[in-house]
Amino acid sequence: MADRTETMKDCLSWMEWLDRWGYITAGFSLLILGMLIFAQSWYKFITTAVSKSALLPAGLQLLNDLLLVIIILELFRTVVRFLQTEILAIEPYLAVGIIACTRRILTASAELSHLPEVTKDLFDRYIWDVTLNVAVILVLIIAVFIMRCQKPGQASPAAF
């Protein structure tokens, strides 16, 4: 019986090691991906803005890409924080949701502003899209506010 227990402990130890390295490699992957997207975004912005004299569309695309980089870096920071504390906090995911919805609003606005003709149906869809994203942002902000107002000693559903 003691031999089985020792084998089980060895197996669990090996699984924990693999789990930790999985998070480490995922974290490095997020960091590298974020840096590559950042560099490519600036390269595309400079080449598009200079060669085509299209500062506004290039700037909107750069803003969209930079918000994506912020999302990726926030996920990277969450992985690092989990490796340090072994607590999975929910607040960074709420922040990612807020940034993603903001990014969608900006993208939808940019897409609509560059269309030669905007039909009533397309405009209605745009209004619904923006309204739903604003509603999600408000709900996520309220969730962040509630989490931050919790008493320090109180059990938090935000940490797993």
pLDDT tens digits along 26-59: 999 999 999 999 999 999 999 988 887 778 888 8
The whole-number pLDDT of residue 154 equals 58
Nearest Cα neighbor of 26 from 64, 69, 82 is 82
The whole-number pLDDT of residue 135 equals 97
Residue-range domain boundaries for the chain: 1-86, 88-160
The residues pairing with 159 across neighbouring beta strands, listed in sequence order, are 89
- Across 64-72, average pLDDT: 93
What's the chain's average pLDDT? 88
The whole-number pLDDT of residue 160 equals 44
The whole-number pLDDT of residue 87 equals 87
Euclidean distance between CA atoms 147 and 89, whole angstroms? 11
**pLDDT tens digits along 112-142:** 877 788 889 989 999 999 999 999 999 999 9
Give first-to-last CA distance, the chain, whole Å: 33
CB atoms closer than 10 angstroms to residue 16: 10
- Across 79-98, average pLDDT: 90
Lowest mean pLDDT among 9-13, 20-24, 72-76: 9-13
